[in-house]
Structure 1
Amino acid sequence: MSTLLKRTHMCGELRLEDAGKEVVLNGWVAKARSLGSLVFVDIRDKSGITQITFNEDIPEELLEKAKSLRSEHVIGVTGTVKERSSKNDNLPTGAIEVFANDLVIYSEADTPPIYIKDDDNVDENLRLKYRYLDLRKSKMQRNLSFRHRLTKLVRDYFDENGFTEVETPMLIKPTPEGARDYLVPSRVNQGAFYALPQSPQMFKQLLMVAGTDRYFQIVKCFRDEDLRADRQPEFTQIDLEMSFADSDDVIGMQEGLLKRIMKELKGIDIDTPFPRLTYKEAMERYGSDKPDTRFDIELNKLNDIFEESDFMVFKDALETGGDIRGISVPGGAAEFSRKKIDKLTDEAKHYGAKGLLWIKVEEDGFSSSASKFLNDAELIKVAERCGSKPGDIIFIVSAQPKVVFDTLGWLRRKIAGILGLLDDNKFNFLWVVDFPMFEKDDEGNLKAMHHPFTQPKLDELDKLDGDILSLNADAYDIVLNGVELGGGSIRIHDRELQDKMFKVLGLGEEERMEKFGFFIEAFKYGAPPHAGLAYGLDRMVMLLLGESSIREVIAFPKNANAECPVSEAPGKADSVQLEELGLAVVAKHEQN
């Protein structure tokens, strides 16, 4: 067993003012170079790298030992800090080196399957399989450190503002919350299942009934859904709830938190209060309920311009209750060739659009994919409505409103990316408020846009018995640069209103009691008015670090197939386990 050298400094801490000090460093060999009687070793830990020098002034046995060092060996070094004759301005420690007088090799390492450097460009699957090596990279260590500091700041902020951190159960009853549950079979109650929580929604409301007053939790949540860059089967929420609070109270509390996060972690002063857009305004202007406002491309409604048009594409859209809307791209006429436009058109079909109509504004007129269907008067009106100038290009979509919004909402951000308008150093926060209470699913069934515990606008309750789809919820989302950071609402605390909400959603008495009986029961004993919000912590860290995937800010994420490449989860359960859980019959049936 190697003797442990007690380190005096981390590998990234030493500076020129430390010259002359006797120090001890522990870490991994990032690089070793042997020049005969001189050996240079870069030693690395999570704080950075220091160059160690072994020369002929040390015993020959120690020099030979230094020559045996290879990448990723784990070592301890004792030595004297000296000023470097040839400084490395790319390293914080580049002005010094440590001349070694002792060396301990704690463990040797095989040649790693991936390089331990930030710009290795290695396949992501390989990075995830050897994540414990990938995490040695300075970028990944910075990401983990930033996440740690953010969560600490969050805890400190809410503690200062009278919140109590409370853990809620991980094994709960399956309830309908919008996505598929992860189910856990019960051994004690065979045939019954727990669900892993999609959120702590009902429990945090029960904590308000319990008099906790202000609750928060940094909590794991689980959803069995298809993965993408900003989605994982297990993710982390910053969850909170406040009693005797309205939406302005919740919003004000969050703006204080975000202002502190940006100042302390990013060194940026942001202005509060943040802008607020209604859901309707966000959709009308940006085609999205999470608009990116870093660039000035907005939707323009063109229905009235084409009311008398004989162009069948427009005519059909208007006659079936659809919309005609366009966006103008400043200076885009030269950028978007026919080939680029065709590519955008193909991608637009994924959002339901049958095509993209384009108009290029020129000094002496227009060129358009629909020139033979549109007259000059119509083209002039479109250009005026969109605020277009010579050199601009206009893209138009005509279809049902959802398709128009989805397509142009995607297109404006896609174009901004192509034109380099998405500045990662710009942070545009805003609130989207007054969401619709209900929407229809793909089968035409009514469902709550957020969840069934969201309170409708109290001055619109008459719509519950009438134009129900026009009823607005007292809900709010916080958006940053086109990504939803979090969302919340005023909760229903009135038993009769909650009961009516369940009925509107088609839940009969028996089903309501089966799924939410314990929750409904609690509200019989006095529930305060309350409101809350939950952030996606992973998304927040991702955005603040300028990463494109939340896998970059999670220590051990799942891959696109919801597998853990390190541990190879999920795995098979053996027959004994299945028997204990009462699932052996199912397993035998599948084998047959």
Structure 2
Amino acid sequence: MREEARQLDTPSVVLDTLGDWKKTHDCNTLGLDHVGRDVIVMGWVQRRRDHGGLIFVDLRDREGITQVVFDPQADALSHERAHALRSEFVIAVRGTVRRRPEGMTNPKLKTGEIEVLVHELRILNVAKTPPFHIEDDTEASESIRLKYRYLDLRRPLMQRNLLLRHRAAFLTRNYFAEHAFVEVETPVLTKSTPEGARDYLVPSRVNPGKFYALPQSPQIFKQLLMVAGFERYMQIVKCFRDEDLRADRQPEFTQLDLEMSFVGEQDVFTLIEGWIVRLFRELLGVDLPTPFPRMSYAEAMSRYGTDRPDTRFGLELVDLTEIVKDCDFRVFRQALENGGLVKSICLPGGSRLSRKDLDELIEYVQGFGAKGMAWIKVQPEGWQSPITKFLSEEVRRAMAEATGAAPGDILFFVADQPRVVHESLGNLRNRLARQMNLVDSHTFQFCWVTHFPLLEWDPDEKRYVAVHHPFTAPLEEDLPLLDEAPEKVRSRAYDLVLNGTEIGGGSIRIHRRDIQNKMFNALGIGPQEAEEKFGFLLDALQYGAPPHGGIAFGFDRLMMIMSGASSIRDVIAFPKTQKGTCLMSGAPSEADIQQLLELCIRVETEGR
């Protein structure tokens, strides 16, 4: 079973083949009930410890670790060869399971009560010294980990993450199959869309000068499947967006995509809650109460300053506009005269914050457009703040009653236009929760946010744009406003938020051509442009399109939260960096000149 030695880092090591050996157990299943049994285990050398007469090796595979022992009295040749073993060598051993000596058990390992006494060793491959230790608590930088991703993926933490993802995908397919969904693959090469993030374009060699686009979402195709009568569609699908990246974004990402015919919002909510409950119960052992709380977009913005509210803690925004409208504080008065509002956050126990702390918080909210932020410390001896002299006793009493402020607390105020107030205080609220340790990281709080605005004004493009996408249906009672006051129209859109992160979003769709045309008109998309870009959808809506709706979930983002990872890169096998590059393979790379000529493409980089 031996091969000629290979001249890698260890020229003296003679390599073996597997021959007729078959793995009998993985490295995480052997226990006391296997004592006395002959087994064959295989994997990577985690570490080797030479204790003079005995050599101990921690053997690792994707399931865990088993300690194997080389004893010259059991097999002298294997013991001699074991001296050459180094970290990450690939080996197979045949031996007998035995109980570890008293006092030598390892309670941290599932296999910590036993060991395998080796009778034969086969060295299947050698390994260079890895650039970092294959352990959970590695000190290697992320760039090094991504460059050697195939080694990083050997770490137990990364393997647990990807195995969790595998089980989640398996459970997801089973759950939706039980609910009569059909999995259909939609095209990867499709047509560029005018809304949303930038598309990745793919040149067509057989159609010179023309391009496909990689899909940002299968949105139109899943709607067409509803027109086609499939009624319930699902897909775990790759999507692509050429946009700036963050910790929870990737240029290529995976989403769970769903669409259903003859449903309303409540049908979607009930179905999705059942899926989420099953995932968390079977994968994490967490039982979630249902139904999940629901709130409108307007309520979420009013109470939390964001449409992605983290409901694990309080610190809700309180509107003080009516209370302070007649006070003498100029900042408040000017904001209200310009159509703004005044809101506050009460931080319990916050009066202990230093002036340096307060200055840092003021600078923080200024990053979200606020001109400044006022504060009041509620002390037992009275209110302490530069602005208290402008507030009457009556106003102070009303403030305290509205905010629930008590001695030892601090009040923060922002006065400005609603968007600035909400963005500033909404982000301040999250920062204060982290800073004051108000968040229980082991708690999962879901909520549905509904009735988003259908459209919003884009000052750069000087037109209305869709808040979600142009196929979202308006609330029926708001439909008359679509022509005269588009900014007041509420949509039948909904997002599912988990711990302050949006993990899924969807809507009931427009299923009538006349309403879809009205929507395009409100977006400034004329009949000719609509026909050119969406003609096939508009035609389909004329052939008996049923009422339908759906939702899509960021599968990477959901797995990140469930695994406790800080980045979606830790739940994706081969992710890109924040600049969209693959440090391991070198993608993206320059194309060969012959490829460019065949595609009729000329690359010009000057001036960029």
Q: What TM-score comes out, normalization by structure 2 length?
A: 0.95
C-alpha contact 1:177 1:198 (8 A) present in aligned 2? no
2:30 maps to what in 1?
14
1:559 maps to what in 2?
577
Q: Select which of 381, 387, 397 maps to 1:364.
A: 381
C-alpha contact 2:451 2:492 (8 A) present in aligned 1? yes
Relative to structure 2, which stretch is displaced further, 267-276 or 231-240?
Answer: 267-276
Q: Select which of 324, 330, 347 maps to 2:348.
A: 330
Deviation at 1:372, TM superposition (A): 4.2
Deviation at 1:73, TM superposition (A): 0.4
Deviation at 1:562, TM superposition (A): 0.7
Secondary structure of 1:383 counterpart: helix
1:75 maps to what in 2?
91
Deviation at 1:369, TM superposition (A): 4.3
Relative to structure 2, which stretch is displaced further, 412-421 or 494-503?
Answer: 412-421
1:542 maps to what in 2?
560
Aligned residues: 589
Secondary structure of 2:565 counterpart: coil
1:50 maps to what in 2?
66
C-alpha contact 2:92 2:124 (8 A) present in aligned 1? yes
C-alpha contact 2:74 2:117 (8 A) present in aligned 1? no
- What are the equivalent positions in structure 2 for 1:166-565 lying under 5 Å apart? 166-334=184-352, 336-443=353-460, 444-565=462-583
In the aligned structure 2, how far is the partner of 1:253 from the partner of 1:183?
A: 35
Deviation at 1:589, TM superposition (A): 7.6
1:30 maps to what in 2?
46
C-alpha contact 1:284 1:299 (8 A) present in aligned 2? yes
1:41 maps to what in 2?
57
In the aligned structure 2, how far is the partner of 1:382 from the partner of 1:373?
A: 13
Match of 1:143, as an amino acid? Answer: N
User: What per-residue deviation string (whole Å, max 9, x for no partner) do you get for residues 292-341 of structure 1?
Assistant: 1101110000111221223221122111111110111111222x221122
Secondary structure of 2:541 counterpart: helix
Deviation at 1:515, TM superposition (A): 1.1
Note if 1:98 corresponds to 2:155: no
In the aligned structure 2, how far is the partner of 1:77 from the partner of 1:270?
A: 45
Deviation at 1:150, TM superposition (A): 0.6
Secondary structure of 1:51 counterpart: strand
Deviation at 1:498, TM superposition (A): 0.4
User: What per-residue deviation string (whole Å, max 9, x for no partner) do you get for residues 546-567 of structure 1?
Assistant: 2221111111111111101111
Secondary structure of 2:116 counterpart: strand
Secondary structure of 2:549 counterpart: strand
Q: Select which of 179, 191, 195 maps to 1:161.
A: 179
In the aligned structure 2, how far is the partner of 1:495 from the partner of 1:41?
A: 69
Relative to structure 2, which stretch is displaced further, 46-55 or 516-525?
Answer: 516-525
2:6 maps to what in 1?
none
Deviation at 1:392, TM superposition (A): 0.9
In the aligned structure 1, how far is the partner of 2:97 from the partner of 2:328?
A: 83
Match of 2:34, as an amino acid? Answer: D
Q: Select which of 597, 604, 607 maps to 1:579.
A: 597
C-alpha contact 2:506 2:550 (8 A) present in aligned 1? yes
Deviation at 1:467, TM superposition (A): 2.3
C-alpha contact 1:454 1:475 (8 A) present in aligned 2? yes
* Shift in CA distance, 66/589, structure 1 to aligned 2, threshold 3 Å: closer
Match of 2:24, as an amino acid? Answer: T
C-alpha contact 2:327 2:392 (8 A) present in aligned 1? no
C-alpha contact 1:330 1:393 (8 A) present in aligned 2? yes
C-alpha contact 1:116 1:136 (8 A) present in aligned 2? yes
Deviation at 1:458, TM superposition (A): 0.9
Deviation at 1:465, TM superposition (A): 2.5
Secondary structure of 1:587 counterpart: coil
In the aligned structure 1, how far is the partner of 2:285 from the partner of 2:515?
A: 45
In the aligned structure 1, how far is the partner of 2:414 from the partner of 2:607?
A: 52
C-alpha contact 1:30 1:72 (8 A) present in aligned 2? yes
Match of 1:3, as an amino acid? Answer: T
* Shift in CA distance, 144/589, structure 1 to aligned 2, threshold 3 Å: closer
Deviation at 1:588, TM superposition (A): 6.1
> What root-mean-square deviation, in Å, do the aligned CA atoms of Structure 1 and Structure 2 show?
1.5
In the aligned structure 2, how far is the partner of 1:57 from the partner of 1:375?
A: 91
In the aligned structure 1, how far is the partner of 2:537 from the partner of 2:140?
A: 49
Deviation at 1:514, TM superposition (A): 1.5
* Shift in CA distance, 310/589, structure 1 to aligned 2, threshold 3 Å: closer
2:9 maps to what in 1?
none
- What are the equivalent positions in structure 2 for 1:126-145 lying under 5 Å apart? 126-145=144-163
C-alpha contact 2:317 2:425 (8 A) present in aligned 1? yes
* Shift in CA distance, 94/442, structure 1 to aligned 2, threshold 3 Å: farther
Q: Select which of 14, 17, 39 maps to 1:3.
A: 17
Match of 2:306, as an amino acid? Answer: S
Q: What TM-score comes out, normalization by structure 1 length?
A: 0.97
Match of 1:28, as an amino acid? Answer: W
Match of 1:499, as an amino acid? Answer: N
Identity over aligned pairs, percent: 53
Match of 1:129, as an amino acid? Answer: K
Structure 1: gaps (5+ residues): none
In the aligned structure 2, how far is the partner of 1:578 from the partner of 1:15?
A: 60
Secondary structure of 2:479 counterpart: helix
C-alpha contact 2:483 2:522 (8 A) present in aligned 1? no
In the aligned structure 2, how far is the partner of 1:369 from the partner of 1:112?
A: 59
Deviation at 1:7, TM superposition (A): 0.9
In the aligned structure 1, how far is the partner of 2:464 from the partner of 2:338?
A: 22
In the aligned structure 2, how far is the partner of 1:37 from the partner of 1:538?
A: 49
